[in-house]
Amino acid sequence: MATPLIFDTDPGVDDAQAIAIALAHPEIELLGMTTTYGNVDIDTATTNALLLAELANQRIPVAQGAAAPLIKLKHPAPAHIHGDNGLGNHPLPVPSHRAETISAPQFIVEQVNARPGEVTLVAVGPLGNLATALQLDPGIVDRVKQVVVMGGSIREGGNVTPVAEANIFNDPHAAARVLTAGWPLTLVGLDATHRCVLGPAQMDKIAAAQGKLGDVLAGSYAFYRAFYRTALDIDGCCPHDSCALAWLMRPELFTTARGHLNVVTDGDAEGQTLFAPQERTFIDPRWARTPLVDVCMNADGEAIVDWIVETLTR
């Protein structure tokens, strides 16, 4: 049976690649996309989600969500990484469909409650929508099947500050609620995603197989690749958000550890994810206070990129 899934996203170049996977994978039943600000403003995120589904000739519900962080002030969108339109400034048509009339958090609550124990939430942007869904109905903690979050960093260091990964940094207060809510959760952070580099030859194969959607994936990739070359001296890009789906479908490609997570919400280390492995005892009981979760510590990057290409070219 296919996995019923809600994809919470801020598309975003690497989000677009992951959306293509969610639309294409035969073992994923995409119930809907919920959008958040992050790589782009919220209206652009919603437009992009609608458009990406249409380019794949699919009609998927899209519910618009968070326009800003819960508490902190919003940072400007990273147009130098994802382009002004979130998709590398690739020229885009206007989608013909509109978003749902209910909000992203309401959509999450409704879908989870409609199918108790079945729905997986995959979140690849700042975590305001999941945090608000928890506030609307705390009972979803026991009714969701599992939650997979692309975000954070345990040993790898940060990508927007020396210690913080972008999705967690963008809304650390929301992340603190979501990562410590007590639902079955796996964190797929930079320790895994930085092991993966999707190269230009691999993107060419994807573009050739994905029709109109492929043109947008390739055009936006070209912009994203230029950023990676300048910033990290990598020829290719890290497909961060696709890794969350790779973990779901191919967990054996990742090394995970179980333990307690915390998120720093203020100060110089805001957005840092702190992990205390289950088997270690520390000097202070505070490190065991939060619920147990799984975090990715490493990954077989080559095999994950092969899986992405295979999924998008079959």
Q: Which residues are known to be catalytic?
A: 10, 240
65 lies in the site for Ca ion, by CB under 5 A: no
Specify whether the CB–CB gap between 218 and 198 falls below 8 A: no
**Letter for the amino acid at 143?**
R
Q: Is 19 in the site for ligand RIB (CB under 6 A)?
A: no
Among 3, 8, 15, 100, binds ligand RIB (CB under 6 A): 15
Minimum CB–partner distance for residue 34 and Ca ion (Å) = 12
Q: Is residue 300 at the binding interface for Ca ion, with CB under 5 A as the rule? A: no
Distance between CA 144 and CA 147 in Å, rounded? Answer: 8
Considering the rule CB under 5 A, would residue 171 count as an interface residue with Ca ion? no
125 binds ligand RIB (CB under 6 A): yes
Q: Residue 2: is it exposed, middle or buried by C-beta count within 10 angstroms (0-12/13-18/19+)?
A: exposed
CB 121 within 8 A of CB 115: no
Indicate whether 12 belongs to the interface with ligand RIB (CB under 6 A). Answer: yes
Determine the size of the site formed for Ca ion (CB under 5 A). Answer: 6
182 conformational bin, left if phi > 0, alpha if psi -120 to 50, beta if neither: left
d(CA 210, CA 217): 9
Q: Which is nearer to ligand RIB, 125 or 128 (CB)?
A: 125
**Residue 15 binding Ca ion, by CB under 5 A:** yes
Two tokens at 52?
A: 């990406």
Contacting residue, 125, 126, 172, 301, with Ca ion by CB under 5 A? 125
Give yes or no for residue 301 binding ligand RIB (CB under 6 A). no
The single residue among 33, 99, 124, 238 that binds Ca ion, judged by CB under 5 A, is 124
Cβ of residue 150: shortest distance to ligand RIB, in angstroms? 5
Closest CA to 49 of 101, 12, 90: 12
Tokens encoding 155? 């040993």
Q: Whole-number minimum distance, CB 209 to ligand RIB, in Å?
A: 22
112 lies in the binding site for ligand RIB (CB under 6 A): no
Contact residue for ligand RIB among 54, 156, 171, 241 (CB under 6 A):
241
In the list 25, 90, 225, 240, the residue contacting ligand RIB (rule: CB under 6 A) is 240
Q: Is 293 left (phi over 0), alpha (psi -120 to 50) or beta?
A: beta
| d(C-alpha 159, C-alpha 190), whole Å | 8
- Residues with Cβ < 8 Å from 149, sequence gap 6 or more? 122, 123, 124, 127, 167, 178, 179, 185, 186, 187, 188, 244
**Which CB atom, from 103 or from 159, has the smaller least distance to Ca ion?**
159
Should residue 300 be labelled a site residue for ligand RIB when binding is judged by CB under 6 A? no
* CB-closest chain residue to ligand RIB: 166
Restricting to residues 215-234, which ones interact with ligand RIB according to CB under 6 A? none
Q: Count Cβ atoms within 10 A of the Cβ of residue 280 and give its class: 0-12 exposed, 13-18 middle, 19 or more buried.
A: exposed
Distance between CA 258 and CA 238 in Å, rounded? 24
For the CB of residue 126, give the shortest distance to Ca ion in the complex, in Å. Answer: 9
Residue 179 contact partner, candidates ligand RIB, Ca ion, none, CB within 5 to 8 A by sort of partner: none
Per CB under 6 A, 173 contacts ligand RIB: no
Question: Any contact of residue 105 with Ca ion (CB under 5 A)?
Answer: no
How far apart, in whole angstroms, are the C-alpha atoms of residue 117 and residue 266?
34
Q: Which residues bind ligand RIB (CB under 6 A)?
A: 10, 12, 14-15, 38-39, 124-125, 150, 159, 165-167, 240-241
Binding-site ranges for Ca ion (CB under 5 A): 10, 12, 15, 124-125, 241
